[in-house]
């Protein structure tokens, strides 16, 4: 079964709103310029699925709202994970 243009437009409007809400939930975590979080930490604090967090963080990085701010070793696995935070240019 093929989707109509109306169905696709409806899906885009709902998912677009959901993406904006998820982005805002993520941005709300960065209440200080010193805050740096891994994607897993963001997922844990927002209760968003890690895949959703990764997608929204990618968009926020692409829009230069967040930037990669280093790495942090995962206590459980020992793997280095990127940390993200507000862009340094915004840090006073």
The pTM for the full model equals 0.76
Report yes or no: 53 and 30 within 8 Å, Cβ to Cβ: no
Report yes or no: 43 and 53 within 8 Å, Cβ to Cβ: yes
The residue behind tokens 């990127």 is: 82
Is the pLDDT at 8 greater than 50? The verdict is: no
> In this predicted structure, what is the pLDDT of residue 89?
72
With a pLDDT cut of 70, the percent of the chain lying above it is: 78
CATH number of 5-90: 1.10.10.10
Domain boundaries, the chain: 5-90
């Amino acid at each position: 079964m093929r989707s109509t243009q109306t169905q696709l437009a409806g899906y885009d409007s709902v998912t677009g709103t959901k993406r904006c809400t998820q982005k805002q939930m993520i941005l709300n975590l960065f209440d200080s310029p010193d805050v740096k979080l891994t994607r897993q930490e963001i997922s844990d604090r927002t209760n968003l699925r890690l895949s959703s967090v990764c997608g929204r963080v990618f968009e926020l990085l692409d829009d230069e709202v967040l930037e990669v701010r280093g790495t942090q070793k995962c206590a459980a696995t020992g793997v280095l994970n990127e940390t993200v935070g507000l862009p340094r240019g915004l840090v006073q």
